[in-house]
Amino acid sequence: MTERKRTFEDKLISSLNSIRYSLTEPLILRIMRLLYEKDYRDKKEEPLISVYTPTYNRAKLLIERAVPSVLNQTYKNFEYIIVGDCCTDETEEVVTKIGDPRIRFYNLPKRGYRYPPTVENHWFAGPVVPANFALKLVRGKWIARIDDDDIWTEDHLEVLLRFAQEGNYEFVSSSYIAVRHGKEILVDVKDQVPRIGGTQTWLYRSYLKFMKYNINCWRKKWNRVNDTDLQDRFYKAGVRIGFLEKVTCYVLPRPGEETIGLEAYKLTAQDKLGHFAFRE
């Protein structure tokens, strides 16, 4: 499989976005702190946390992994926003049957063309549109994301919130366990600067939601995945970042697969291209 080469348009749009982000996001962050940081001074507060999941036609996986992971949390003051990317399966039906008032489900009305539909681009930018829609809906003081195939530890929200409050961090993440080809791997990003765990371990203050996922992340030369693009911008904007050396999440292969991430997408390329095909 040959990966698509970057075009002049890719380079131009990436450069312009980089300039725009570097000029606007640090400034907006300072404004947001002036307006809202005072609301985070109480380190013993139990604020509303907005949890969200972008999903597309994975009803069974969603109901077996992400949903119970959220509902079984020791920390109970949360809302759970599930955004379907124009799901055509039974996702809405199975979510509605749960009957938990903390859950809100929205199904986007269309799933049109967004980027060249390669298997890599589906991995890089696939969740961007429903994830950004979810960020518009959050009502809590903190934001957490769990993808439909992830599993949280029961104390995930509680330990990350307390860690963030005690350290006066705006953004925190943690270690997690990844399973590849039957082997459990501790991912603690010790050699990474900044030290940030996977998006399923993120917890951050809701005034940072002005920083959206970049639909053009796939055009870049590096940090092309939607979450690594965003975490790089958090760091460059000056967000106060903390890392918790504790496993709070498990990232497992999906049924019928042996590994995770882009590797799994490439090993099941035809299936992924069919599953994520755009519809006008």
> Domain residues of the chain, as ranges?
8-275
Looking at residue 5, its pLDDT comes to 86
Tell me the pLDDT band of 1, cut-offs 50, 70 and 90.
very low
In 137-278 the beta strands, taken as DSSP E runs, fall at 142-145, 150-152, 171-180, 183-187, 203-205, 241-251
Lowest-pLDDT choice from 1-15, 110-124, 178-192 = 1-15
CATH 1.10.3720.10 assigned to domain 8-275? The reply is no
Assess contact for 154 and 71: CB atoms under 8 A: no
Sign of CA dihedral 16, 18, 19, 21: positive
pTM: 0.96
150 vs 69: CA distance, rounded Å: 8
Q: Is the per-residue pLDDT at 167 higher than 50?
A: yes
- Dump pLDDT digits (tens) for 32-90: 999 999 999 999 999 999 999 999 999 999 999 999 999 999 999 999 999 999 999 99
* Cα 170-174-180 angle, rounded to 5 deg: 145
71 vs 151: CA distance, rounded Å: 11
Structure tokens given for 221 = 């030369």
Assess contact for 239 and 171: CB atoms under 8 A: yes
Give the number of other CB atoms < 10 A from CB of residue 260.
20
Average pLDDT over residues 109-133: 97
